[in-house]
């Protein structure tokens, strides 16, 4: 089972030579093995996901801000009716998801109505999705602290577990932080929202993101094996990430890199 990060940027894609090392695409993560493919969030990085034929493709959204949805219509595989997509989110029910996708990807804001007979998609309430996935993987959800809400996920397959916690503001609501900590406790991989530094976050309270330094604290508290700091601020270039990587990240904590494959087993 592999985990691959296809997009690690927050807010907006960054096409610049200064971010070639860590990547400029917005959030998209893939977990796949021979029997299934699971994609969490469809930021612009989704464009580069290779959809595998003859195995089910599951898609979950943490929430529906642009940087987590904008890649959806730009992967040619979504127009191939031989591919079936099981789509869900713990944040909204089936009807709510259909409404928001329709609003995002139909005229006048998008040239096609992609939900109108163009995609072989199967939008499910989260409980139904969870039940449909159970033969392949176990997925649990917990709330995150973000404007409008966001759902975090814990995906487990054969004793390996990955916790995805974008977008989240750590330290604002204790109950929510406790739920996240419980989910991440001793897990294999945590994907952490480290959009800001500890100095930057002082003026960003209520914006729904955490800091790089809080990621380090969380890593020690959770005893996770590895923690990847993702959702990099658009203005954070490779040079700055390299310097911080050398100076403030302990062993086991990394800055997420686009196209990075992490072998789970």
Q: Which residues bind Zn ion (CB under 5 A)?
A: 10, 65, 67, 167
**Minimum distance from CB of 27 to Zn ion (Å)?**
6
Q: Which residue lies nearest Zn ion, judged by its C-beta?
A: 65
CB-nearer residue toward Zn ion: 8 or 78: 8
Q: Least distance (Å) from Zn ion to the CB of residue 159?
A: 30
State the nearest-atom distance from the C-beta of 169 to Zn ion, in Å.
10
**Residue burial 6-30, b: 16+ Cβ < 10 Å; e: rest:** bbbbbbebbeeeebeebbbbbbbbb
As measured in angstroms, the least distance from the Cβ of 66 to Zn ion is 8
Q: Which is nearer to Zn ion, 65 or 257 (CB)?
A: 65
Cα first-last separation, the chain: 5
Nearer to Zn ion, 67 or 258 (CB): 67
Which residue has tokens 């001793």? 186
Strand 189-193 and strand 226-230: the pairing is parallel
Of 43, 46, 48, the C-alpha closest to 167 is 43
Q: Specify the residue, 83 or 230, whose C-beta has the smaller distance to Zn ion.
A: 230
Given a contact cutoff of 8 angstroms between Cβ atoms, the answer to whether 164 and 155 are in contact is yes
Residue closer to Zn ion (CB basis): 144 or 187 = 144
DSSP-based three-state secondary structure for 88: strand
Structure tokens at 78: 């979504």
Min. distance of Cβ 28 from Zn ion in angstroms?
A: 11
Beta bridge partners of 262: 3
């Amino acid at each position: 089972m592999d985990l691959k990060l296809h997009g690690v940027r927050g807010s907006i894609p960054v096409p610049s030579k200064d971010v070639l090392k860590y990547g400029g695409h917005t959030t998209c993560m893939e977990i796949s093995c021979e029997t299934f493919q699971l994609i969490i969030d469809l930021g612009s990085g989704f464009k580069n996901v290779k959809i595998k034929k003859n195995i089910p493709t599951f898609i979950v959204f943490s929430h529906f801000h642009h940087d987590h949805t904008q890649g959806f219509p730009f992967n040619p595989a979504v127009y191939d009716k031989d591919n079936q997509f099981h789509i869900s989110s713990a944040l909204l029910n089936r009807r709510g998801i259909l409404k928001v996708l329709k609003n995002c990807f139909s005229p006048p804001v998008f040239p096609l109505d992609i939900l109108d007979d163009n995609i072989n998609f199967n939008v499910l309430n989260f409980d139904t999705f969870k039940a449909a996935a159970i033969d392949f993987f176990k997925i649990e959800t917990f709330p995150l602290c973000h404007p409008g809400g966001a759902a975090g996920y814990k995906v487990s397959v054969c004793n390996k577990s990955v916790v995805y916690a974008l977008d989240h503001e750590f330290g604002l609501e204790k109950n929510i932080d406790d739920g996240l900590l419980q989910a991440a406790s001793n897990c294999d991989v945590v994907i952490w929202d480290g959009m800001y530094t500890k100095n930057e976050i002082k003026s960003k309270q209520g914006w729904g993101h955490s800091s790089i330094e809080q990621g380090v604290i969380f890593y020690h508290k959770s005893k996770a094996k590895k923690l990847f700091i993702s959702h990099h601020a658009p203005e954070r270039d490779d040079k700055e990430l390299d310097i911080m990587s050398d100076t403030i990240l302990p062993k086991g904590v990394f800055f997420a890199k686009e196209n990075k494959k992490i072998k789970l087993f």
